[in-house]
Amino acid sequence: MEERISLIKGDITTMQVDAIVNAANSSLLGGGGVDGAIHKAAGPGLAEICRLLGGCETGEAKVTPGLHLPAKYIIHTVGPVWKGGDKGEAELLANCYRSSLNQAKQHDCKTVAIPNIGTGIYRFPKKLAAEIAIIETKKFLESNNLPLTVTFVCFSDENFNIYRDLLDS
């Protein structure tokens, strides 16, 4: 299992993988954070394609081509806005990982990179989000042959350190 999960600190838009995951909003029309960076790097064609998808529910995931990105596909998922923890946020975030990895599998992706969904503008607590990300990814990889590898891409030192400690333990 260990060799199928890796961790790096960096910008997900530069990842040379079959698919990157985007932390989008339910309109899928773009926004700030990693979503803004992905739309900027993929080019204006991405918003045009996303407009045709009719939005996305929280916890679900939809796929577009990567356009100008090195990645072949972008898997857009919508994390929950953190409202204190008693609004099903943890289960919704787990659904983001399940749906995204399932889409990767359906699209025959061998390599996938995932950012820290929900932990920016949506304010999901970072440690809990990392625990959910790692548990759900391990579970999925244990019962599926694809994707072969998942790379967690952390933009901040804080998230990188949280993931490193959890993956080491």
Question: Look-up: residue for tokens 């009719």?
Answer: 54
Residue 98 Cβ vs ligand AR6, minimum distance, rounded to whole Å: 16
Q: Nearer to ligand AR6 by C-beta: 108 or 158?
A: 158
Query: How far apart (Å, rounded) are the C-alpha atoms in residues 112 and 18?
Result: 6
Is residue 18 flagged as an active site residue?
Answer: no
Q: Nearer to ligand AR6 by C-beta: 104 or 126?
A: 126
Q: Is 118 in the site for ligand AR6 (CB under 6 A)?
A: yes
Residue 93 Cβ vs ligand AR6, minimum distance, rounded to whole Å: 9
- What would the DSSP string read from start to end of 88-114? SHHHHHHHHHHHHHHHHHHTT-SEEEE
Start-to-end CA distance of the chain, whole Å, equals: 14
Q: Nearer to ligand AR6 by C-beta: 69 or 109?
A: 69
- b/e map 9-18, b = 16+ CB within 10 Å: eeebbebebb
Residue 154 Cβ vs ligand AR6, minimum distance, rounded to whole Å: 7
Q: Which residues bind ligand AR6 (CB under 6 A)?
A: 11-13, 23-25, 31-35, 37, 79, 115-122, 153, 155-156, 159
